[in-house]
Structure 1
C-alpha cells in the first residue's frame, strides 16, 4: 500500500513574519491590468456582434476550452501552483503556455496572485478583496482592475527550479505579447471575425468568467466540507462544473487543495481531471495527488447534513482523521 504523501501547500511560498497582516492594506488601481481588461472587453463588445460567424464562434469555443481546461485549470492551477501531479518538462511547458494564453498573467504573476489570496484566506481574518466580500460590481472592479497592497505582507519566494527557469522567465516578460502570433494566424486564416472572436472575445470572456466563479465560490453554494479557524470558506457551484472544467468545485478544492481531482462527489463532472487521467493512460502524468494519499488540512471537518466526498480506498485510517470520520 503506498504511503501518504507529504503535504506541500502552495502557501509555503508565502512566508509569514511576526508582523504579517492579511487585513492591513489598501486597494490600488493597477493600470496595466485595467487597460488590458478594458481594451479587450471593449473590442469584444463593439466588434464581436458585427463580426459574428459560426466559424468564428466555433474557434472561440475550441480555443477557450483548450486554454481554460488544459492551460489554466490543469497547467497553471493543478500543475504549476499545486504540483498535484508530475509530468515531463515538455508537457509542463505546453500546459503552462496554454494557461498564459488565457490572458490573466504570466506564470510568476499567476503563482503570486493565487498564493497571496490563498495565504490571506487561511488566516483568521483577511482583506475584503481577498474574501470577495464587496457587492457584485464593486468586487468586479476590485478583482479585474485593482489589487490590494498589504502594508505587512508575507515574504514571497518562488521555488528555485521555477524562478530560474528561462522559459518561464521569457513568457512572464511577454505574456501579453503571446497573443500576437495567434492573432496574426487567426487573421490570416479567417480575417477580422477570427481575430476578434479568437482573441478579444475569448480573453475577455475568460477574465470575466474567472472573476464570476471566484466571486460566487467564496460566498455561497454547496459545501460538503468546512475548514475551521480560517477567514474564507470555499463553496461548490455544481451548475458551472462542466463549463469551468472542474474549477467551480471550489469547496472541494479548499478541503483538498493538493488534489488533482476537483469534482469529487457523484455527478460532479471535472473535465480537467479527465484530461489528467488521459495523460496518466499515456504515461505522461505520474505521482498524482488525491485526497486518498495526501494529508488532510488542519481544521477540516464534514458539514452536517451534506453528502461529503469519502475516498473509496482511503489511506487516512488513523484515529481522528476527518476523512475517515466522514464515512457513512
Structure 2
C-alpha cells in the first residue's frame, strides 16, 4: 500500500480525516502530555482508600465481594458493554440490556460511555497510521507510561474530529451516564455501607475501581509492547500483542493482536487454546435469546493491509475464523 494513502478500513472510522496523510499523522503526533487533576485524584484517592481502608476492614466476605464485583463489571461491563457492544457494535441485544451492560462498564471507574468511545477511537485510529504520539502508542518506559495513562491526558495541537453516530451521541441515557458516572459509584457505596459497613465500601468500590483502572492500563501496556503476534497490520505505527497470561483476568480482552486484526469481531480468542470468557458469555446470552447477530472475522470487510505472520502457521488457518 502506498505510504501516502490511508488504509481503506479507515474510510468508515469515527475519526474524520482529510486525504492528506502527512497532515493526519501530524494531528495525532503533535501534542503534549499534561497532568489531569480529576483523573489523577480519582485514581489516587481510590487507591489510597483501598490500601488503607481495605487493610483496616478486611474480612473474607468483603474480599469475596471485591472478587465477585470486579469479575462482574469487567465481564459484563467493560468487555461486553463498553467494548464489544458500544464501541464496536459486535452484537445486537435489547436496548435495556445494552443500558445495563454499559452501566456496569461505568463501574470499572475509567470514564463515561461517550468518553470511552472517543478515547478508544482516537487511540485506535492513531495506531493504524504510520506514526502517532508516544502517549497513544504506549511507547515510553513502564513507569512513564503508568504516570501518563493513570494521571495525565494528551492535549493534541490539532486534534482530529471524532463523529459519534446518533445511536450513541443522541441517546438520552448514555448522555446521562456520561455526565453522572462518578456519582453512580457513590450510590453503590451507600448501598454497600448499609448492607455490610465500611469494609464492603472499601473492598466493593475502592479496591474494585483501583483494580479496574490499574489493570486496564497494565494490560494495555503489555498488549502493545510484549507478547506474540499472529497478524501484522502493515504500515501501522503500533501492533497489538496477545498476552495469554491475562486471558481469564481480562475476560478475553488480552487477545489484542487478534483484535487489531479484526476489530469488529465480537469474538477475541480466535484460535485453539485462546480462552475468551466474554465470548462464552455472549454465547450463553444468545442461547437464551438475549443477543443475536454476533460478528466474527468472516463477517468483516477484507483488509488489504492485514498480513498473516508465518509464526502463526501452527494454529488453525484463517479460513476457520470462525464459523463456530
Which residue of the partner structure matches residue 103 of structure 1? Answer: 109
The number of equivalent residue pairs is 310
Which residue of the partner structure matches residue 156 of structure 2? Answer: 150
Please tell me whether the aligned partners of residues 233 and 251 of structure 1 are also in contact (alpha carbons under 8 angstroms).
yes
Q: Distance in 1 between matches of 2:36 and 2:251?
A: 29
Which residue of the partner structure matches residue 206 of structure 1? Answer: 212
| Equivalent residue in structure 2 for 1:166, among 166, 169, 172 | 172
- Superposed CA RMSD in Å reads 1.8
Unaligned 5+ segments in structure 2 are: 1-7
Higher helix fraction (1 or 2)? 2
Where do 1:220-231 residues align within 5 Å? 220-231=226-237
Cα pair distance change 1:9/1:124, threshold 3 Å: closer
Q: Distance in 2 between matches of 1:263 and 1:8?
A: 22
1:87 aligns with 2:93: yes
**SS of the residue aligned with 1:175?**
helix
Which residue of the partner structure matches residue 324 of structure 1? Answer: none
**SS of the residue aligned with 1:226?**
strand
Cα pair distance change 1:231/1:308, threshold 3 Å: farther
Q: Distance in 2 between matches of 1:265 and 1:313?
A: 9
1:191 aligns with 2:193: no
Bigger Cα displacement from structure 2, 16-25 vs 146-155: 16-25
Q: Offset at 1:56?
A: 0.4
| Equivalent residue in structure 2 for 1:270, among 271, 276, 285 | 276
Q: Distance in 1 between matches of 2:169 and 2:36?
A: 23
- The TM-score with structure 2 as length reference comes to 0.92
| Equivalent residue in structure 2 for 1:216, among 217, 222, 230 | 222
- The TM-score with structure 1 as length reference comes to 0.91
Unaligned 5+ segments in structure 1 are: 1-6, 317-328
Which residue of the partner structure matches residue 285 of structure 1? Answer: 291
Cα pair distance change 1:300/1:8, threshold 3 Å: closer
**SS of the residue aligned with 1:230?**
coil
Which residue of the partner structure matches residue 5 of structure 2? Answer: none
Cα pair distance change 1:230/1:311, threshold 3 Å: closer
1:295 aligns with 2:295: no
